[in-house]
Structures are given as structure tokens and as C-alpha cells.
Amino acid sequence: MEAMRAYIYEQYGGPEVLTLQEIEKPIPKENELLVSVAATSVSTGDARIRQGNPFPIRFINGLLKPKKKVLGMHISGIVEEVGSKVTKFHKGDKIYGSLGMNFGAYAEYACIPEDGHVSLKPEQYSFREAVALIFGATTALHFLAKSHIQTGENVLVNAASGAVGVAAVQIAKYHGATVTGVCSQRNFELVRKLGADHVIDYKSEDFTQNGKTYDVIYDTIGTLHFARVKHSLSKKGRFVTNNAQIRDYLAYVFNRTKIVLGVSSDDGLDKIIRMAEEGKLVSVIDSEYSFGQMRLAHERVDSGRKVGNVVMNIRN
């Protein structure tokens, strides 16, 4: 059996639980692609899974210890081998995509189903730029679609400089909304450049107290809740969160038309490609790390100070 290098973790905890080891190289099934991974992203989702926090994550990934020992949801790379029934892709294709909750991207090789969330990489993007698009853009696209965003609506994006936030600003603007971004003052220029019409410094102004109302309030990091923002919603306003807490689900029971939550989907890669090709969606990279620096990359994510995506270069 051939071996490859991969980061594994056998218990929940901080970045120190991630260790670089040699494990068996995967063999593609008849409907799968074997991808030589060029780059992956280190997302807040990866960090939460690593921590086993919030606790309900453990009902999916193992109560006391993780079932799947190689983290990483998003990949870009080159197809090295295809299964016998694969028809859409060929050896040598440059692809990007999402492994979702199957994980496995923190490795030199990964397998992904041909009919999964995978597409040819846009030519104008490098592997690192392409992988940096996926996490934030697919999440923002999914939740803004669920909110039924309309042209001309006023949309507020909380944490507008994060991985989901930078994509949400661009996607809301793409749909013809007037966008307000909430972030720290040092990120005003970036958020405006991405399309925000207005920006609010969360350190000096509480938008729930300024008397303005919004048709969509999109909380991309889970620091808001419905009771706090409900008076800032217009008559038909919706509170959207992709990081729902128990309090959000309880509020949803009584406010179904006002709250949008649930589990993110990786559908929408084709639309992301179209937006990127039109110049309407750009990736924002906070920092890049080499394969041997996985713990440092997770420390950066845990800091809560990243702007956009953290990228791990698996191969030079």
C-alpha cells in the first residue's frame, strides 16, 4: 500500500491535537476522483469540529473522540486518477470542490465523488485563490438564497470581514441590495471595496440602537440573536444565521417567517464560478501557511482576528 502524509487528530481540543503522520493513500472508487491536493482552507468550521464545540457536533463526528481523523472540507488540486465509471473528469484536470462532512482535505491526496461538489477550477484563479472562494461563498450563497433576498432590499452583514462575511457582502451586492457591513474600523476599506454601501464599527456603534431597519440581517459568526435584532428588522425583515445556537432554534419555533437558519450546503459552485468569471466575486486571503504549519494556521483561526480565509498550501 502506498503512503501519504496527512494531519490526524484522535481527540478533541486545541491546535496541538493535530499531528502530521503517514497514513494509507486512498484508492478511488469507480465513481470517484483521486486528487493530488494543492491547497485547502482552514475554516472556522474546521476549528469547531476539531474542538468538538458546540457539543451537538459530537453526535455527528463521535461523542468521546472523532470518528474521522483527517479534517479539512475544501480542496483544490489536480486529478491524478479517475474511477472506472467517471466520465466528467480526466487525469490532469485542475479542480476545486468540497468534501463536506466526509472531510479528508488535510492530506496530500483525497478522493471526491464525480457527482459531488466538485468543478473545474476557474482558469484565472490559482489553486489557493480557488479554494479560498469555497467555504465563505457557498455558505453565504446558501443562506442568502434561503432568505429570498430581493433587489433593492437593505441587507446588513455582521462580521463582514470574515470568510463568510466578505462573500456575503459581494453576493448581496450582486443581487442588487444596499449593503451595510459591520466590522472593525481597520477593515472598512476592504469591506467598502467589496461593495458595501455603508460600514459600521462594532466597537463604537451598536447598530440595533441606531433606529435603522433592515430587510435582512445576516449574522455570519453567531454573536447576535433574534431578541436583540428584532426591532432592527423591517416589517418583512428576516434574521439569518449560519451559526445557530439553541436560543435561535427556540426563537424559530415562534418566528418562522422572521428567522432563517439550518445547515449550510455546498451547492452553488457553478454560480460561484459564473460570478468569479464576471468579476463579481473575489477571494480574500488572510494568510497562507505551508503544510508543516497546520497548527499555526489553526491558531490564526482560533484568534478570531482573521480577515477572509486562511489557506494551507499542501504542495508548492
Interval 264-288: pLDDT, tens: 877 788 888 889 888 899 999 999 9
pTM across the whole model: 0.90
Comparing CA positions, the residue from 107, 44, 108 lying closest to residue 71 is 107
C-alpha span between 101 and 203 (Å, rounded):
35
Comparing CA positions, the residue from 207, 205, 202 lying closest to residue 217 is 207
Topology (CATH level 3) of domain 136-260: Rossmann fold (3.40.50)
Residues written for the chain: 316
Interval 215-267: pLDDT, tens: 999 999 989 999 999 999 999 999 999 988 889 999 999 999 999 998 887 77
Comparing CA positions, the residue from 254, 199, 201 lying closest to residue 226 is 254
55 has pLDDT over 80:
yes
Minimum mean pLDDT range among 158-162, 181-185, 262-266 = 262-266
* Euclidean distance between the first and the last CA atom of the chain, given in angstroms as a whole number: 25
The domain spans of the chain are 3-125+283-313, 136-260
H or E segment at 96? strand 94-98
Backbone angles phi, psi at 73, to 5 degrees: -105, -25
Which residues on adjacent β-strands are paired with residue 37? 77
**Domain 3-125+283-313: top CATH class:** alpha beta
Measured CA angle at 59 (ends 55, 61), to 5 deg: 95
